[in-house]
C-alpha cells in the first residue's frame, strides 16, 4: 500500500459507485499474498503522508498527522459508504493495513493458504485505520483482542470458524471464480433494494435495534416503490432475468 494507493483506491470505488457501472465490487490481488499492508516508506523519507509541505512548527506537524490518519481511514471507509456491496477475495497473507481494508468490506472470502495478522502491534504501534473499530463487530471481541494484542497469525480455517470469512476455497483460482460468482448473483437483484439493505445493516451495527427499526421505517416510506418488486414477479412468471433501472448518479457540487 504505497502512497498513491490511499488516493487511488477510494477514487476508483467512488467512481464505480457514482456511475453505477457495477452492482458489486470484488477486490482481489495477484501473487502469493493478498497484501502485506502499509508500505512503511509512506511514513519516511519526507513523504507528504508523513509531514505536510512547508510545515515546520511541532504543533502543526502533529495537527497535520491527525488529519492524515483520518485521510487514510477515509480510504477504507469508502468501501463502507459505497451503495453497492464490496467483497474481498484473500489469498496468502492479509497483513496490517490489509486487515483495516477487508474489515471495511461487506464480505470476506479466502483461500486455504490465507492467514490474517494485525501486524501493527509487532512493530510497536497501535492499528489506526479501522481494524480496532470494525474487527470486534465482525468476530467475537475476545478473539479480536487476542489478534490485536499478540500479533499472531490467524489461519484460514480459524477465520472461517469465528466468522471473519464466509467461505474458504481450495486455491486462488477457485477463490476468485467463486467470489465473482457470488457477486454475479448479487448483481441480479434490485440495486435499490441492495443499497437499502446495506444501508440498514451498517446503520444497525452502530445503533440500537429500536433506532434501526425507526430508520428502516423512514427509508421505506420514501425509497420503497413497487416497480422493482413488480419486475421481479414478472420476470419469474416469464422465466427471464429481471431488468432494473440503475441507481442515479449522486448530485454534483453546486
Query: What is the tens place of the pLDDT at every residue in 136-145?
Result: 999 999 999 9
CATH 1.10.12.10 domain residues, the chain: 191-238
In terms of residues, how long is the chain? Answer: 254
Query: Which 3 state secondary structure label does DSSP give 244?
Result: coil
Q: What b/e string do you get for 178-206 counting C-beta neighbours within 10 Å, with b at 16 or more?
A: bbeebbeebeebbbbebbbebbbeeeeee
Total-model pTM = 0.92
95 has which bridge partners? 117
- Only one residue has cell 416503490, namely 225
CA atoms within 13 Å, Cβ hemisphere of 103: 26
Q: CATH 3.90.226.10 region(s) of the chain?
A: 5-187
Q: How confident is the model at residue 254 (pLDDT cuts 50, 70, 90)?
A: very low
- Domain range 191-238, CATH class: mainly alpha
| Residue of higher predicted confidence among 157 and 51 | 157
Q: How high does pLDDT run on average in the chain? A: 93
- Thinking of the domain 5-187, which architecture would CATH place it in? Alpha-Beta Complex (3.90)
Contact 90, 36 (CB under 8 A): no
- Average pLDDT on 36-57 reads 73
pLDDT per position as a tens digit, 183-199: 999 999 999 999 999 99
Query: What span, in angstroms and rounded, lies between the C-alpha atoms of 155 and 143?
Result: 13
SS3 content of the chain, % helix, strand, coil (to 5): 55, 10, 35
Alpha carbon 184 to chain centroid, angstroms: 18
Q: How confident is the model at residue 46 (pLDDT cuts 50, 70, 90)?
A: low
* Cα separation values, 239 from 117, 189, 190, 235, Å: 46, 15, 17, 6
Torsion of CA 101, 6, 246, 223, to 10 degrees: 60
- pLDDT tens for residues 223-233? 888 899 999 99
Asked if 2 and 39 count as a contact pair (C-beta separation under 8 A), the reply is yes
| Cα distance between residue 181 and residue 89, in whole Å | 12
218 three-class SS: helix
- Long-range Cβ pairs for the range 166-174 (8 Å, 24+): 166/107, 166/108, 166/109, 167/109, 168/109, 168/110, 168/111, 168/112, 168/114, 169/109, 169/110, 169/111, 169/112, 170/111, 170/112, 171/91, 171/111, 171/112, 171/113, 172/91, 172/111, 174/111
Amino acid at each position: 500500500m504505497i502512497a498513491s494507493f490511499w488516493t487511488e483506491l477510494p477514487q476508483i470505488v467512488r467512481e464505480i459507485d457514482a456511475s453505477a457501472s457495477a452492482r458489486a465490487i470484488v477486490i482481489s490481488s495477484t501473487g502469493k499474498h493478498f497484501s502485506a499492508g502499509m508500505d512503511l516508506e509512506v511514513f519516511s523519507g519526507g513523504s507528504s503522508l508523513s509531514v505536510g509541505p512547508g510545515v515546520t512548527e511541532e504543533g502543526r506537524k502533529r495537527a497535520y498527522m491527525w488529519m492524515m490518519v483520518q485521510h487514510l481511514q477515509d480510504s477504507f471507509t469508502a468501501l463502507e459508504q459505497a451503495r453497492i456491496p464490496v467483497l474481498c477475495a484473500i489469498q496468502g497473507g492479509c497483513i496490517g493495513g490489509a486487515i483495516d481494508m477487508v474489515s471495511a468490506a461487506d464480505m470476506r472470502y479466502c483461500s486455504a493458504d490465507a492467514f490474517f495478522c494485525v501486524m501493527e502491534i509487532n512493530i510497536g504501534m497501535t492499528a489506526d485505520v479501522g481494524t480496532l473499530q470494525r474487527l470486534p463487530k465482525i468476530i467475537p471481541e475476545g478473539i479480536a483482542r487476542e489478534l490485536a494484542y499478540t500479533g499472531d497469525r490467524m489461519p484460514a480455517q480459524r477465520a472461517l470458524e469465528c466468522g471473519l470469512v464466509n467461505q474458504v476455497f481450495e486455491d486462488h483460482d477457485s477463490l476468485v471464480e467463486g467470489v465473482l460468482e457470488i457477486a454475479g448473483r448479487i448483481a441480479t437483484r434490485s440495486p435499490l433494494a441492495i443499497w437499502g439493505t446495506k444501508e440498514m445493516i451498517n446503520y444497525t451495527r452502530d445503533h440500537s435495534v429500536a433506532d434501526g427499526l425507526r430508520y428502516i421505517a423512514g427509508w421505506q416510506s420514501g425509497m420503497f416503490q413497487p416497480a422493482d418488486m413488480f419486475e421481479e414477479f414478472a420476470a419469474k412468471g416469464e422465466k427471464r432475468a429481471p431488468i432494473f433501472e440503475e441507481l442515479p448518479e449522486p448530485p454534483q457540487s453546486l
